Amino acid sequence: MKRLLLFIPLLLAVGLGVVLFAGIGKDKSALESALIDKPMPEFELASLQNPDQRYRSDVFEQKVVLLNVWGTWCPSCRVEHPDLVRLARDEGVPIYGLNYKDNRDAALQWLDELGNPYELVLFDPQGKLGFDLGVYGAPETYIIDSKGIVRFRHVGVVDNELWETELEPRIRELREDS
Amino acid sequence: MRPLILVILLCVVGTVQASTESYPLASDADRERFQELTKELRCPKCQNQSIADSNAPIASDMREAVHKLVQEGQSNEDIMLAMTSRFGEFVRYRPELDPRTFLLWFTPLIVIVLGLIAVAIVVIRSRRNATSEPVLTEDERSKVDAMLAQVDDPDAPDNGR
């Protein structure tokens, strides 16, 4: 019995090791969104391309979409842009853009040069909707279901692997539900 | 040593002033509230800084929002709620006590209690050993008595050697 007690420190050390090992490689900077399973915040924003066309939150109540938060000032957005273009073209997923704290001319030029994967782009120069969404760094990508409920958030670059492992399965499931 | 302390104090004073200057408020109470709230809120981008200390754009957005809400006369609880409903419980340095944060709050207490229990067990065991187990057998005791008698009386016959 006493001999077995001597193993307690070993067990504690192994336990600690397992916990710490699980933390290795985890991205600490990626936070869970506070809006998961909550409706999109209320907003009224103009389209990037057409300042007279204004959108409200009901624009999200039609189908499952990806909402991509981007800006021309954001280097990682440039990295993920070709992947977004490919997803829109090959995977047929509707992507809405939220142009965040940006300049209209620069943003339009960006879409001209790099291609436009977005069905519509909301222009949010003050970052108001971004703030209400809890955006803390672009790029961020959300899945919004057909009732306008936020279902998933990814902070950082969207690439093919993320599409296959996180985005596509969730979108498929949400489409089946609705 | 003294100049060093002065330099450190000067740095502290500098940052505190910087955070109030650009956010004018009507009363001292509000200014104090603004200070308190911006120190209590954590920047989601640069995670080891409060929004009072951080230069990240999101921290300055949050400072502005807190400033606006303080001006509107909202309570501290409402302002905290406005921030956590957007950015999550993460942005509070002292998160609300709920099942998810239970371990965060109580791990130190649990460890202390476990430590006390361990110490208590060790102490009780050693006491019990000290009192209950006879240190010498009868046989050993008589031998010791004989040795001591010899020390007391060096002229007695030496039966050991």
The DSSP call for residue A55 is E
Beta strand extents in chain B (DSSP E only): none
Is the domain of B46 the same as that of B125? no
Nearest-Cα residue of chain A relative to residue B42: A136
The pLDDT assigned to A115 comes to 94
Is the domain of B37 the same as that of B115? no
Element of type H or E holding B8: helix B2-21
Residue-wise pLDDT for B89-120, tens only, equals: 889 998 888 887 888 889 999 999 999 999 99
Is B96 part of any domain?
no
Is B129 part of any domain?
yes
The pLDDT assigned to A39 comes to 94
B159 pLDDT tier (thresholds 50, 70, 90) = low
> What is the residue type of B128?
R
The CATH number of A32-177 is which of 1.10.20.60, 3.40.30.10, 3.90.440.10, 3.60.70.12? Answer: 3.40.30.10
Residue of B45, B65, B89 with shortest CB distance to A131: B65
Full residue range of the structural domain in which residue B126 is found:
102-152
Q: Show the tokens assigned to B119.
A: 């110490």
Is the domain of B77 the same as that of B33? yes
Antiparallel, parallel or unpaired: β A54-56 and A44-47: antiparallel
Q: Is the ipTM of this complex over 0.85?
A: no
Contacts 24+ apart (CB under 8 A), B121-128: none
Is the domain of B67 the same as that of B121? no
Is the domain of B18 the same as that of B63? yes
What's the CA gap between A99 and A103, in Å, rounded?
9
Last residue of a domain, one of B91, B119, B136: B91
Output the domain CATH number for residue B80. 1.10.8.640
Is the domain of B82 the same as that of B14? yes
Mean pLDDT of A20-24: 87
Q: Show the tokens assigned to A31.
A: 């936070």
Residue-wise pLDDT for B44-97, tens only, equals: 888 789 999 998 889 999 999 999 999 999 999 999 999 999 998 889 998 888
Is B97 part of any domain?
no
The pLDDT assigned to A93 comes to 93
> What is the residue type of A115?
G
Q: Show the tokens assigned to B136.
A: 């010498």
Is the domain of B116 the same as that of B82? no
Kindly determine whether residue B89 and residue A34, on different chains, have CB atoms separated by under 8 Å.
yes
Is B161 part of any domain?
no
The pLDDT assigned to B64 comes to 93
The pLDDT assigned to A177 comes to 81
Element of type H or E holding B141: helix B138-152
Last residue of a domain, one of B61, B91, B121: B91
Kindly determine whether residue A32 and residue B87, on different chains, have CB atoms separated by under 8 Å.
no
The pLDDT assigned to B12 comes to 58
Kindly determine whether residue B86 and residue A134, on different chains, have CB atoms separated by under 8 Å.
yes
Shortest distance, CA A119 to any CA of chain B (angstroms):
26
Angle between helices B28-40 and B2-21 (to 10 degrees): 110
Domain ranges of chain A: 32-177
Residues 6+ apart with CB under 8 A from B35: B16, B19, B20, B52
Residues from chain A contacting residue B86 (CB–CB below 8 Å): 34-35, 131-134
Residue A133 has pLDDT above 70, yes or no: yes
